[in-house]
Amino acid sequence: MRPCLVLPAALLIAATAATADVPYTPSEDSAVLERLAVARLPGTASLRELRDAWTAKPDYLPAALAYARAALELSRREEDPRYLGYAEAALARWSQRPQPPPEVMLLRASLRLARVDYDSGERDLRALIESPAPEGHAARITRASL
């Protein structure tokens, strides 16, 4: 290498190394440093959109069910238990009733099984199987997979 090129190259490396040690500090607290990808199930609305629909009408069971199903699916796909909590929160209003709707009971059973609470999950599945609700068929399939 030519001696006249060595000095500029060395200066460039030294300048780059010196600036790499200085952390970036935003000038305002509201500055966005990074945007995370929105969790989206194939062919469906994003979890955020479903959550917004549920929170806009917290008493509307179909919105809560859609959000809970999507959160449960994301929990399975991403192996992230936080989504289980999201689903449980959406169903809490109905899940705590003595006789929750069958759709809620089926999702609650799946959530309990995901949290390794097999006794409670199987109890929900058994109640659905013994009921005339159409969710009893899905409960049979879920129970058979245990």
In this predicted structure, what is the pLDDT of residue 64?
97
Is 29 within a domain? Answer: no
Contacts of residue 27, Cβ cutoff 8 Å, sequence gap at least 6: none
Instruction: Give per-residue pLDDT as tens, 30-61.
Output: 888 887 666 566 655 788 899 999 999 999 99
The boundaries of the domain holding residue 123 are 47-144
32 is a domain residue: no
Max mean pLDDT range (18-22, 27-31, 113-117) = 113-117
**Which H or E element spans position 61?**
helix 61-78
- Asked if residue 42 belongs to a domain, the reply is no
What is the structure's pLDDT at 41? 60
Task: Judge whether residue 9 has pLDDT over 80.
Answer: no
CA–CA distances in Å: residue 142 to residues 18, 110, 136: 60, 8, 10
| Structural domain includes residue 27 | no
When the pLDDT of each residue in the chain is averaged and rounded to a whole number, the result is: 87
Instruction: Please indicate, yes or no, if residue 120 is contained in any of the structural domains.
Output: yes
Give me the phi and psi of 126, to 5 degrees please. Answer: -60, -40
Question: What is the per-residue pLDDT for 32?
Answer: 85
pTM score, whole prediction: 0.70
Establish if 67 belongs to a structural domain.
yes
Count of structural domains, the chain:
1
Is 33 within the bounds of a domain?
no
CA atoms within 13 A on the CB side of 18: 6
